Amino acid sequence: MSSTVPLAHSPTARRVLVAGMGDSGVLTAMHLARRSSVVGVSLRPALVSGQEVGLRIAYPDRWARDYRVEFDRMRRLDPVDIRHGQILELDHDRRTLRLRTPSGKVEAVTYDALVIATGVANGFWRRPILEDSDDVDSALCGVHERLALSATVAIVGGGAAACSSAAQLRRRWPKKKVALYHPGELPLPRHHVRTRRTVARRLESLGVDRHGGHRAILPTDADLGEIGAGSIHWLTGQPVVDADAIVWAVGRVSPNTAWLPSNMLTDRGFVRVEADLAVPGYQGVFAVGDVADTDPLRGSARNRADRLVARNVLAHLDGRATRRYHPAEHRWGSVFGPSDNGLDVFSTNGIRFRFPRWTVETLLQPLIVRRGIYGGVRRRSGGV
């Protein structure tokens, strides 16, 4: 039987609780820690980014170097009290969140302000389960080995995750048959048309068999979260496709909000927010990232709204005016991820910017990302 252990809470300290320590949560906690006491709750003992899934499945060691970072290596997280556990429920009347630790003990964390950044579940690369470092390693290696042993890979979906998976798998195994099946004539329906055309040409130049106009009959949600095998049937009437491995990247996301009251959520389970990312009807509660229903693209995860939401939380605590979040019209950023040729980044108007590989390895990651965005990342013991 688990016990409930209340954590010490000073009546004079302003404690901000960041629920979810993924990409958005980590950056938000860093900004808040400069001017408040911060507690972060994470399912894992490290930042396990949801970015660059193609690189993750094709080159897991290279991906882990830049996109899996232990919290104790991030200098700006030094003042943050990070709790490793599964969130159970929220009692906003008492300003308390309950979580279960890996040992099974239940802790109650109190707060003055709350930032919800628990993200979404999305396939095998975003799983809402409590994991330790060995679990993360096992998942990374298991998916990679499964694909390595497959002669034919079918990727179903037309978003960035599907496109990057197809491209990176072809780069990793040039002799492997890789096919991409997506509903529209071009992939990336949420991107600018220039980006969509450029990406389609690049996929074909890499040897990806691209098939537009294919809408699959989807398996169960459980099967969508795994690398499948067998046959794919189509609602659009094409012949059945067989593959040794099937990567389902259809964009069916499930927000990690089971612990929240229903009146805080939209019909689809995302967190309702106002223009300043505050949750209506809940004083001192904000949301950011994929879990926040900001706009049709839910783009606060990709538009650096972490800085804005941190500013607005502090403004709320100080009694000052908050600022509005302005979503982007189109998605932007990297589609394929880093490669031997460098890194392509697409702007919201479809213009491509190329970073040569040497700049990625000597400037972008060490200086801009690790030092600039994260404020310094310590080296691993005996490694990078």
| 244 found inside a domain | no
Mean pLDDT, residues 38-60: 95
Q: What is the pTM of this model?
A: 0.90
Question: What is the length of the chain?
Answer: 384
Task: List, for residues 67-103, the tens digit of each pLDDT value.
Answer: 999 999 999 999 999 999 999 999 999 999 999 999 9
Number of domains in the chain: 1
Query: What is the spatial distance between Cα 252 and Cα 46, in angstroms, rounded to a whole number?
Result: 25
Task: List, for residues 172-195, the tens digit of each pLDDT value.
Answer: 999 999 999 999 999 999 899 999
Is residue 127 left, alpha or beta, with left meaning phi > 0 and alpha meaning psi from -120 to 50? beta
Task: List, for residues 216-248, the tens digit of each pLDDT value.
Answer: 999 877 677 788 889 999 999 999 999 999 999
Domain that holds residue 307: 15-43+85-122+254-330
Query: What is the spatial distance between Cα 256 and Cα 252, in angstroms, rounded to a whole number?
Result: 13
| 223 found inside a domain | no
| 98 found inside a domain | yes
What are the tokens at 128? 């809402």
More confident residue, 16 or 357: 16
Task: List, for residues 136-168, the tens digit of each pLDDT value.
Answer: 999 999 999 999 999 999 999 999 999 999 999
Q: What is the pLDDT of residue 380?
A: 78
Q: What is the pLDDT of residue 50?
A: 87
User: Strand 68-70 vs strand 46-48: parallel, antiparallel, or unpaired?
Assistant: antiparallel
Task: List, for residues 236-292, the tens digit of each pLDDT value.
Answer: 999 999 999 999 998 888 999 999 999 999 999 999 999 999 999 999 999 999 999
Query: What is the spatial distance between Cα 271 and Cα 281, in angstroms, rounded to a whole number?
Result: 12
| 270 found inside a domain | yes
What are the tokens at 193? 């048309």
CATH number for 284: 3.50.50.60
**Is the pLDDT score of 314 beyond 70?**
yes
